[in-house]
Structure formats: structure tokens, C-alpha cells
Structure 1
Amino acid sequence: MHHSFSLLILSVMLLKVYAGKVLVFPVEGSHWINMKVLIEELHSRGHSIAVVRASNSWTIEEESPYYRSITVNLGRFDADSVSSFSARLLQLRREKNNFWTYLLLQMEVVEQLSKMHQDICNMMTLMFQDKILMNSLLDAKYDLILTDPAFGGGVFLARRLGLPLVLNVRWTDRAEAHFAIAPSPLSYVPVPGTELTDKMTFLQRLLNIMFYFFLLCHGLTIPGPHYTAFCHRYFGPDVDYFSLFQDADIWLMRNDFTFEFPRPTMPNVVYMGGFQCKPSKPLPADLEGFVQSSGEHGVIIMSLGTLFSELPYDIADEIAAAFAQLPQKVIWRYTGPRPATLGNNTLLVDWLPQNDLLGHPKTRVFVAHGGTNGVQEAIYHGVPMVGLPLVFDQPDNLSRMNAKGTAKIVNIATLDRTVFLEALKEVLYEPSYRENMQRLSRLHRDQPMKPLDHAMFWIEYVMRNRGAPHLRTQSFRMSWMAYHSVDVILTLLAIVLIISLMTFSLIRLLCKRILLKNKIKHG
């Protein structure tokens, strides 16, 4: 008993020694879902967490056993505004695929994102001007800031407080995160939005480069003006706002190379793809009974995420009619009116335990919109997909799965019951889809360390060492000309040209003298 008590005291003391204080600046929606996984794991390891949230947040709870909330009384984009924005994007996505439709879609995204970035700047202005709040954050002596750089708030707060910065990242405010810090040869690294692979034809490489310049313009015209003005106001005119992103100590990437195409990376990039995935737990009794009633045919799971849990009635009817023609049972997360064509084999639910259903041995296919979290869970459990990409990164995510032979994509603009049914049958009965996905699952799981433990190690590494500046590249501080050694190449070419001209002049001079001597000699 004495030894056990001593061991307990020692364990508590060690926990105290290594416990840190983390300030979290998250992003709403699905981004919060994966940030919450990191928060809960940090809490389980004895760390103290505070979360900055807007007063009208629709996903980040104010009360939680895992963290303390710091609520800022500002925010324009509540659940209703985001839902209406998503509905508008879906409407545009359904229209005939042409350049004009694509342009309208991009203009809609540009307008709304610009408002969101401005909203973040307003929120940060309120925080920075609140001396009591800022002094309390300084007095708390946090060890680091953990943020999602899809928006810039957490990055600016880290600069203001002088704290090490860890990013939970897939996207920055400009593009996919690798493009911010890692070499990205456009000959084989596809730009987000192109839905290309790492094997491109000449025309595809041309398209890839055009999209890259489009992304550069996107960064300069949407977040750029808001964040540049904010930076100049609080950090001085010499601070380039995007360099604050690039100065992050660790980039925890929410992907890996079972999902992503191989590409160059950097020392401070840590891959934690599938970190939110875990073994399935038993289903609730009623849901388990429904699954077991499917017999040898198994079940199909359908979820289009929180933003698209309700669809236009005509699309919902076509999907339901296709499901009704299959022998499989279907569990569909759907909150809209009951489709008129719904079959007896389909169960509509407001919420479903997605991870647990994907891990069930009777699950045959996952019908999904292609969000990163859902794709990673499908890979982890080895379940092939039928993809209905709608907006944002979803088309690119599913195009990667399609290229790897693990998913069949259906365009929402051309979806009807026949097209959808054929896609379902192809994935259900063509064994290569399941075989390919199970191969990806084996590759993903074959790691020396679980992705979540890997992420925890590097977060705690930054705590212990007060940052990781030795892992940060200086390449982004170089000019474009210096980075690509254009100045060196031009200098070498100039030297070669000068030597060539001098040699040519010398030879010419010698030739003239020889000719002159010959003339004098024969004169």
C-alpha cells in the first residue's frame, strides 16, 4: 500500500510538471470537430485549455468539461447565414456546368469569404482594444497557441502575445497548406480546384499553372486587403501578414500520403491524417437491429455533413428512389421532409454514429459529400465511397479517391435515380473498389505511432522547447528572384557573355593584326 501510494503521488507530480497551458483559436463547422479531438486529448494528458469563441458561435460550446471559454461579443455569421450560403452554393452547383456557372459560383464564394475575413479582423480588433482581456491573456502565461489558419485570428493573436504557434491545418486563407511553405512543382503537384492528379498531360499542366495564378489573385484580393490593413495597424507597415502564417513552429497536417499524392514537404510539417479516427464502438440496440436485418446484403451509409443534411426535394426523391431498388438496407442522415419515393429499406435519422457505422462489418458503401473528416474515416475503416461533391474542397478530395480506385463520383448537376443507382451498383458489386480502399486502410494503419499520438508529441515538443524555430525554413523570406536563383543564373550568364565577348574581341584583334602584318609584308 505504501509503495502504491508513493507511485500515485509521483504520477501526480509528474503530471503537474509536464502539464501545459494551451490557448486555442478554432474555426467553426467541421473544422471545430477535428480541433475538439485535439482539445480532448490534450485535456486527458493534464493540459489546461482555453478556447476563444464568438458569442454567436453555432458549433463551439461555451460550457465544456475540457476547456474554459473566452467569448468575444462579435460575430455576423451564425448558423442561419451559413446555411443560406451553403444552399446558394448548392443551387449554383446544380446548374448546367459551363464557364458562366463556374464564374458565378466563384464570385459567390469570394463575396462571402471576404465578409468572413473582415468579420475575423473586427473580432481581433475588439480583442486587441480590450486591455483587460489582453492583460489577462498575458498574465495567464500560455505555452502556445493552437489554431486553424483557414482564418487569420489565431495567427495574429500568437504574434500579439509572443507565443509559439502550432497549426491544425489543411487550408490557409489562400490555398492548400503545402503551397504556403513547401516547394510545390506545378508539373506534378495539382493545384486545389483543378481535380487533377500527379500525372498530368501538357494541357493539364497548362490548366494547373493557370489555376495557380488564379489562387495567387484570390489571396491578394480576398483576405489580403483585410489582413494587410490589420497588420499595418497593429504590427507596423514592415510586417507581411502571410509571413506570420509561415512563421508557425509546427504544421499539423490533416492528411497523409495514403490520401494525398506524393509531394515535397518540410521539417516542421507533421502528418496526422485520420487522427480523429478510432475503432468502432457497439451501435445502439435499435440501430444494431436495423443493421442486422440487412442479412448478407449489408447496409449503405449516407451522410452529406451538417451543412447539407437537407436537400432540394427533387434531388432527395431521386436518391430515395434509387435506394428503394436495392436489396441493401440504407441509413441516411437527413433532416428534410420525408421523400415521396422513400423505400421500406431506408431509415432516415437526424444524426448517426458515423465512425461506428463505418467500422461495422455489414457496412458496404459510404455515400458522402467528400469532406476531409468523412474521407479519412472511410479510409481508416476500408469502406468504398460514392461521392456527391458539393462545394469547397469536396470535389478535390473525391477526385483523389477516384484516382486511387476507391470512389465513384456522381455530379449533382446530372444526378437522377438511374445515374445514382448505377453508381451504387458499381461500387457495391465491383470488388476492386473495396479491395483498393482496404489496401489504403492497411497502409494508413501501418505506422509506428498513431496519428493522434504523433500530433500530441509535437504539440508537447513545442511546449517543452518554447517553440521550434530550428525546424522553420527561411525560404519564404527570400525574394522570388533569390529563391529560384534567377539573380545567380543571370550573373553567371553575364560572366559567360562578357568572357565570350572578350574572347571574341581578342580573337578579332589578333586576326586584324595578322592581316595587317601580312599586308605590310607583301606590300
Structure 2
Amino acid sequence: MASAILTGPLPLCVCLLLTSGFAEAGRLLVVPVDGSHWFAMQSIMEKLILRGHEVVVVMPEVSWQLGKSLNCTIKTYKTSYTLENLDRELLFFTDDRWETPAKTVYSLLMTSATGFFDMIFSKCRSLFNDQKLVEYLKESSFDAVFFDPLDMCGLIVAKYFSLPSVVLARGIFCHYLEEGAQCPSPLSYVPRNFLGFPDAMNFKERVRNQIFLLEERIFCPYFLKKALEIASEVLETPVTAYDLFSHTSIWLL
């Protein structure tokens, strides 16, 4: 399905997502990301449920907050890791980031981050290994899929089931957001994530911003290697990050 570009302001996007007066209630498949990313998504889902939409959340059995206090259908699948594994990898990642703030893409993505993100990437393989769940999703005739793209799984699910997708993004590692969403991001005015630069950058900061993007293009394919291997297995064809991100119908940034 060709991706559509939505350039309206965020309030308009949210209104369109939540409106039920102009159409019958629909069926929404939700593929969430755990932790703080869940809370923003949860508030939107609660409004959708109140407006009569049917919401189905697909989540791993091992999680911190997913599915709690939510009046909707929950479908779970087993994972290859335990809650203790998840806690340990997250603690290692956050402690390392606190002690050594990232100054390069390599220091951010290729050190302590690798183990943690490889673990959360792996849960998508677990989802598609659950054949009973996959058959249920095939037969459910969802109208759209709603997800956070941090773990890449929602992107894979949307492409596998050929569903229109709505993405709630707080920020995405690497340069795939701008490319997939065809979102203008001039380096002289828009700082890259994690650099902490203001929107009015001096010349030195603009040069550093350009170098950071070049580093992203070098190291991000290695960082996402496991996720793309899983996507290629599931879709039974080689795929790139651009293939996945460009499938999105609506971006909520």
C-alpha cells in the first residue's frame, strides 16, 4: 500500500484518530512498546474505547506495564527472555548512559544499547512463532494497526498483514523517520536526537549535527541488524528499514 503523508498539526491528527461521529466504530490492532512509551499510547486507546471502537492489544507475557487497567481484548505471546533478563539489560543500559553521556552514534548505539535492544527486537520473532495468534490476527479483519516504532515490531506487523498504520513516535533512532515519513529535517535548523543542541545552532553545532547524521548512516544498519533479520524472516523477503518505515499511513509526532 502506498504511504500517505499527513502534514496537518498534531491536534488535527489526534482528532481524526479519535473521531467516531463521522464513521462507524472500527477494529484497531495495537502493538505497544513497554515502559514510558506505553503511557501516551494508553491514554489515546482509552479514548478510542470510550468512543465504541474495538481495540485488541498484542503484547508479550513479560512486561512492566503493558495492558494494565485497560478495558479491551489482550492477546499475549511467550518470549525468549524473563522479566529478570529485561530488568538487568535495562539497568545496564541506563547506568551506562548516565555515567557516559553519548557523544557519538557509536557510543550510543553500539555499546550497552545493543544487548537491550536486541532483546526487545527478539520479541517480534516470538509473536510470529505463535501460529495460533497469527491466525487469529489474520482472521480478525482489523481496520488499522496503531503502534510505537521503537522496537520495530509494529512496522513488521503492519507490512505482514497489509494494514494501514498509525504511528505514535516520541523520537526514532537514526535517520529513518525523516526518510520513511518524507519529513523535512534541515540539518542547519533541526538538531539530531541526543545532541542536546537548541534550534538556533551556531556554526560549530551545525557542523557537529552534520557529522552526527553521517555517523547514523554508518552505524544504524548494524544497530538494526537483528530487527531487519527478523523482518526478513517474517516477510520471507529481504527488507530494509526504509521498506518498513515508508509503509506507514499516518505519523503522530
- TM-score range, shorter-chain basis? 0.7 to 0.9
- Distance in 1, matches of 2:233 and 2:66, equals 29
Change (3 A) 1:45 1:146: same
Task: Report deviation, 1:176.
Answer: 8.3
SS at match of 1:141: coil
The change in CA–CA distance for 1:75 and 1:106 in structure 2 (over 3 A counts) is farther
Match of 1:70 among 67, 75, 87: 75
Structure 2 counterpart of 1:199: 200
Q: What do residues 55-114 of structure 1 show as CA deviations (whole Å, max 9, x unaligned)? A: 12011135x442221111115373632234323432335xxxxxxx856x9647534433
Structure 1 residue aligned with 2:245:
245
Using the alignment, how far apart are the partners of 1:202 and 1:44 within structure 2? 50
Distance 1:152 1:137, change over 3 A: same
TM-score, normalised to structure 1, is 0.40
* CA shift in 2, pair 1:247/1:204, >3 Å: same
The answer to whether the 8 Å contact 2:228/2:241 transfers is yes
The offset of 1:147, in angstroms, is 0.4
Q: Deviations over 1:452-510 (max 9, x none)?
A: xxxxxxxxxxxxxxxxxxxxxxxxxxxxxxxxxxxxxxxxxxxxxxxxxxxxxxxxxxx
2:164–2:249 contact (8 Å) kept in structure 1: yes
Q: Aligned AA for 1:252?
A: L
Structure 1 residues 309-330: Cα deviation after superposition (integer angstroms, max 9, x where no partner): xxxxxxxxxxxxxxxxxxxxxx
Residues 49, 55 of structure 2: 8 Å contact kept: yes
Counterpart of 2:95 in structure 1: which amino acid? A
Is residue 36 of structure 2 the alignment partner of residue 35 of structure 1?
no
Partner of 2:51: 45
Give the equivalent residue in structure 2 for 1:478: none
> Higher RCO, 1 or 2 (CA under 8 Å, sep at least 6)?
2
Which runs of no fewer than 5 residues in structure 2 stay unpaired?
Answer: 1-19
Give distance in 1, aligned partners of 2:70 and 2:230. 34
Q: Residue 91 and residue 186 in structure 1: after superposition, are their counterparts in 2 closer, same or farther (change >3 A)? A: closer
CA distance 1:245–1:77, change in 2 (3 Å) = farther
Q: Deviations over 1:15-46 (max 9, x none)?
A: 8x711111111111110111111110111111
Deviations 1:270-321 (A, max 9, x none): xxxxxxxxxxxxxxxxxxxxxxxxxxxxxxxxxxxxxxxxxxxxxxxxxxxx
The yes-or-no answer on 1:154 pairing with 2:154 is: yes
Residue identity matched to 1:80: D
Q: Which amino acid aligns with 2:32?
A: P
Q: Which residue of 2 aligns with 1:26?
A: 32
Taking the TM superposition and a 5 Å limit, the aligned residue runs for 1:37-186 are 37-61=43-67, 64-74=69-79, 76=81, 78=83, 80-81=87-88, 82-93=90-101, 102=103, 107=107, 110-174=110-174, 177-178=177-178, 180=180, 181-186=182-187
Question: Percent identity between the aligned chains?
Answer: 25
Q: What value does the CA root-mean-square deviation take over the aligned residues?
A: 2.7
Distance 1:207 1:119, change over 3 A: same
Cα deviations across residues 396-422 of structure 1 (Å, max 9, x unaligned)?
xxxxxxxxxxxxxxxxxxxxxxxxxxx
CA contact (8 A) 1:55 1:75 kept: no
1:75–1:57 distance in 2 versus 1, CA, 3 Å: farther
Q: TM-score, normalised by structure 2?
A: 0.78
SS of corresponding position for 2:154: helix
The answer (yes or no) to whether the contact 2:179–2:246 under 8 Å persists in 1 is no
Structure 1: gaps spanning 5 or more residues: 1-13, 94-100, 254-523
Question: How many matched pairs?
Answer: 229
> Aligned partners of 2:242 and 2:82: how far apart in 1?
24
Q: CA deviation at 1:238?
A: 4.8
Q: 1:113 to 1:187 in 2, by over 3 A?
A: same
**Whole-angstrom distance in 1 between the partners of 2:221 and 2:45:** 33
Q: Shift of residue 188 of structure 1?
A: 2.0
Q: CA deviation at 1:139?
A: 1.2
Aligned to 1:59, the other structure's residue is in SS state: coil
SS of the residue corresponding to residue 150 of structure 2 reads coil
Going from structure 1 to structure 2, the CA distance change for 1:77 and 1:221 (only over 3 Å counts) comes to: farther
Structure 1 segments (4+ residues) deviating >4 Å: none
Q: Does the 8 A contact of 1:190 with 1:197 survive in 2?
A: yes
Aligned to 1:210: 211
Q: Deviations over 1:94-150 (max 9, x none)?
A: xxxxxxx856x9647534433344334432223223322111111111111100011
Q: Deviations over 1:380-411 (max 9, x none)?
A: xxxxxxxxxxxxxxxxxxxxxxxxxxxxxxxx
SS at match of 2:157: helix
Q: Which amino acid is the alignment partner of residue 160 of structure 1?
A: Y
Q: Distance in 2 between matches of 1:201 and 1:89?
A: 26
Measure how far apart 1:211 and its partner are: 0.9
Aligned in 2, Cα 1:176/1:124: closer, same or farther, shift over 3 Å?
closer
Counterparts of 1:415-430 in structure 2, within 5 Å, are none
Point out the structure with max Rg over C-alpha: 1
